[in-house]
Structure 1
Amino acid sequence: MTEQMVYNSIHVSQSTFRGGLISPVHRWFRLTPSFGPELVDIMLEEMETAAHHRVMDPFSGAGTTLLQSKFREIESVGFEINPFLYFVCRTSTRLDLNPDRLRASLAAVEYAFAENVNKTSCLGVEELGIPLPKIHNVYRWWRQDVLKELLLLRNVIQTSPKQQTHRDFFLLSLAGVLVPDLTNVSLGRLQLHFIDKSTHDLNVWRSFAGHAKQMIDDLERISDTVIRTPAAVFHTDSTTLEGVGPLPHPVDRVITSPPYPNRYSYVWNTRPFLYFFEMFQESREAAALDLKTIGGTWGTATSVLSKGRIEPWHPIIDKWISPVSDEIRRKDPLMANYVMKYFNLLAQQIVSQDRLLSSSARCAYVVGCSRIKGVYVETDRLLAEIFEGLGLGYSVRKIERFRRRHSGSELHESIVYAYKA
């Protein structure tokens, strides 16, 4: 694959989540391990994407690919296994809400919230009659006074607006400021870090209302053609696409970024959201989801991966991944199993989506190389070999290394372009 390798630096303001922080709608929810909207534009243009094409993201996350496709008036579809991120993606791409009606709903939420705060002024958070989030050590995550107002506001949003679309919109507004603004954490690129916010000025309504008003203002700037451009989102595992039937039209372009193989937990960063918004009711649910995901090593996944030996799923995995996994196994069997699981699932995902693609489909996968137990995992080259070796008719056109990861000079982030022959 040496002849397909190119180096083309793309600034972090374009390639990472930072670009979305100042972009309408993209800024509604910050997902740090995601690429930026401008990087989506770069990939769309590289693959000569036109308005009649259809774009897919099998790891849709917060919806960057789908949103940017909508802004370019290109139909799109996404898949997401994480129920909270599915909610974010689905709600963010629903742009046909009336701003004036949303402002009226926000005023109703404000009135009901103030009334509830006054009624419960003498009560502690555990006296409200509202179940606490079922996350381990809940007061490590939230100050009691802040959690009290958060629960009151969440419940008001779930009952005050008459339209479900308005409720979802304001729940997303609350999610947009929940972490890190109102939670005892700082937000790193790969994980959350607990910090002491006992003396911080945390104002639940001010944070929520400010973000909600910005979101409503964003809606006013969006054109009717963008609003009408379809963007469908499915809550499913992209390695199986269970429950996904034939799409109305074949997919022409795939733009995505699976989790990187650097022991990043796909679920851990979203734990406070999953439990606060009652998508999970038991502590073991987050660990169970992490076990299913590509890149999951947290909780139950750790105990499962520490047992036995995970075998390659396909001969091309055996050819290219087994040597890497065997080298890691001499130092850490658990991480050797993790690497094998990672590439097994990545290959299964490529195979599962094939039935949805057109015969001339083009794919762009953003991946990161890693060093695991001192062994260099050259994800971009390995993924390129897998694309060509699965027997699906792919030819790798280019591996574009666009950014050095901060953890090492040889650890690049790359785009692997694979086209159907």
Structure 2
Amino acid sequence: MRNVERDLVGQRSDLTFKHNKSLGRHGWLRLTPAYSVKLVKEIIAGAPVDVSILDPFSGTATTTLTAAEHGNTAVSFDINPFLIWLGNVKCRSYTAAHAQEVRDGVAAAIAKTPALLSQHNWRPPLFNIERWWSSTTLEVLAALRVALVQEFGEPAEERADGLAWVAFCRLVIETSSAAFNHVSMSFSSETAHYEVGHVTDLYSAILDSVLLSCGSPLIGLGEVLEVDARAIPEMGRRFGLVVTSPPYPNRISYIRELRPYMYWMKFLEEAREAGEMDWKAIGGTWGIATSRLTTWGPNGKLLPEVLTDTVGRIAATDTKNAQLLATYVLKYFYDMHLHLSSLPNVLEPGAELHYIVGNSTFFGNVVDTPAILGESMRMLGYEDVESKIIRKRNSNKALFEYDVTARWGG
């Protein structure tokens, strides 16, 4: 049956982050961890009207924002301070008076920017920064940032206005040499030189777009909390629907793509912090996280048999780094097993789960993500575990996206 499904399914770009770009707040920043608003809407539409919704892997807060737009109460978890900040900015309601205050503050900041060009302004300690922006563009961005801090405060401060800083995040990417024409980022061979007038005009246009997209108040409530999804504590509240898309076992580090935003917003100050965060993230292996895989072990925990077989096949491949990547796959599903074992701490009896996941291949060995997660769920007492193919992920015939569903009996 699975092969018949594969033959019939298409790539369905409407079920990816590409679909979100024109959908108001969902399109504020283009990040590959996002998945389709359309898919989340379909799942929520099939649930009880007043169900409380959880996304334990918030990312760009797609689930939480969609739920709040639908009228539900939703909570999501993340460990990345930038994503927690971004998600909460997305999930607030804003008045027309507030929007005007932001416009006035930004106008004042833009007016100050030319005079600030003559002084030495802080720049983010991003490695090889002039690969991203020319020296001319950097000078303008740095001066504008100082002016915005004077008007709104640093992004992480409680008094700061998130809307002005979301627009600034868009600005730093749109003036950079980075290109987002595939799952991750690439760079143009030359950086563009933007003068102050061009940068401030572009910033004003971006801000107008951001403010326009949040003109309507949300009818539900959404919130992003700092919680490690591998060890979810008792919280005094429970959820009847889980809709989430954890990182896929494909060894793509999302922290790497987030770096420009995190450095400019001062949520990241040095490369080691990025590596530490990647180590804590499920599926993260960048920087120091990669080296730590060489000494990591699962502490004898009972894991799905299909996972043991998969890891063994990858490790036996006559290829450089086969053992390293086998350990990576093992750790990914070990962390997911920990997550699923702590998730019942916040589930209502009968809670319905939807995990949007993708399979992977390593040296020709298919990692059957839905089968491995499904076996983990059954081992941990989840019921009615099933999976269905949603879409073909790219031109590789072996890669698909799935909805793995289950129910917590309680």
Q: Taking structure 1 as the reference length, what is the TM-score of the superposition?
A: 0.88
1:309 Cα deviation (Å)?
A: 5.8
Q: Give the one of 306, 322, 341 matched to 1:351.
A: 341
Q: Taking structure 2 as the reference length, what is the TM-score of the superposition?
A: 0.90
Aligned: 1:322 with 2:322: no
1:288 Cα deviation (Å)?
A: 1.3
Tell me which residue corresponds to 2:253.
265
Q: 1:297 to 1:250 in 2, by over 3 A?
A: same
Residue 322 of structure 1 aligns to a residue whose secondary structure is helix
- Which moves more between the two structures, 16-25 or 162-171? 162-171
Tell me which residue corresponds to 1:92.
90
Unmatched 5+ residue regions in structure 1? none
1:201 Cα deviation (Å)?
A: 5.5
Aligned: 1:70 with 2:68: yes
Tell me which residue corresponds to 1:21.
21
Tell me which residue corresponds to 1:283.
271
The letter of the residue matching 2:372 is L
- Alpha-carbon separation, structure 2, partners of 1:359 and 1:330: 42
**Aligned ranges for residues 259-408 of structure 1 at < 5 Å?**
259-305=247-293, 307-308=294-295, 310-311=297-298, 314-317=301-304, 319-331=305-317, 332-390=322-380, 392-396=381-385, 398-408=386-396
The letter of the residue matching 1:194 is F
Paired residues of 1:19 and 1:36 also in contact (CA < 8 A): yes
1:132 Cα deviation (Å)?
A: 2.1
Aligned: 1:101 with 2:104: no
1:219 Cα deviation (Å)?
A: 2.3
Paired residues of 1:99 and 1:216 also in contact (CA < 8 A): no
**Aligned ranges for residues 81-160 of structure 1 at < 5 Å?**
81-95=79-93, 97-117=94-114, 119-121=115-117, 123=118, 127-128=119-120, 130-160=121-151
Q: 1:404 to 1:13 in 2, by over 3 A?
A: closer
1:268 Cα deviation (Å)?
A: 0.7
- Alpha-carbon separation, structure 2, partners of 1:87 and 1:294: 20
Aligned: 1:183 with 2:170: no
- Alpha-carbon separation, structure 2, partners of 1:43 and 1:5: 23
1:149 Cα deviation (Å)?
A: 1.8
The letter of the residue matching 1:219 is C
Q: 1:77 to 1:13 in 2, by over 3 A?
A: same
Paired residues of 2:275 and 2:286 also in contact (CA < 8 A): yes
Q: 1:206 to 1:313 in 2, by over 3 A?
A: farther
- Alpha-carbon separation, structure 1, partners of 2:388 and 2:200: 45
- Which moves more between the two structures, 407-416 or 202-211? 202-211
Paired residues of 1:260 and 1:367 also in contact (CA < 8 A): yes
- Alpha-carbon separation, structure 2, partners of 1:84 and 1:56: 19
Q: 1:298 to 1:161 in 2, by over 3 A?
A: closer
- Alpha-carbon separation, structure 2, partners of 1:411 and 1:361: 29
- Alpha-carbon separation, structure 2, partners of 1:367 and 1:341: 16
Aligned: 1:32 with 2:19: no
**Aligned ranges for residues 215-254 of structure 1 at < 5 Å?**
215-220=210-215, 222-223=216-217, 226-227=218-219, 229-241=220-232, 246-247=235-236, 249-254=237-242
For each residue in 1:183-233, what CA deviation from the matched residue of structure 2 results, as whole angstroms up to 9, or x when unmatched? 22111443221223434667322222212111211222x25xx34x22121
- Alpha-carbon separation, structure 1, partners of 2:50 and 2:379: 30
For each residue in 1:371-394, what CA deviation from the matched residue of structure 2 results, as whole angstroms up to 9, or x when unmatched? 01221101112111111112x333
- Alpha-carbon separation, structure 1, partners of 2:84 and 2:29: 12
Root-mean-square deviation (CA, aligned residues, Å) is 2.4
Residue 249 of structure 2 aligns to a residue whose secondary structure is coil
Q: 1:336 to 1:51 in 2, by over 3 A?
A: same
1:4 Cα deviation (Å)?
A: 12
Residue 214 of structure 2 aligns to a residue whose secondary structure is helix
For each residue in 1:101-153, what CA deviation from the matched residue of structure 2 results, as whole angstroms up to 9, or x when unmatched? 32233233223322231x244x3xxx51x332122122222222212222222
- Alpha-carbon separation, structure 2, partners of 1:205 and 1:132: 18
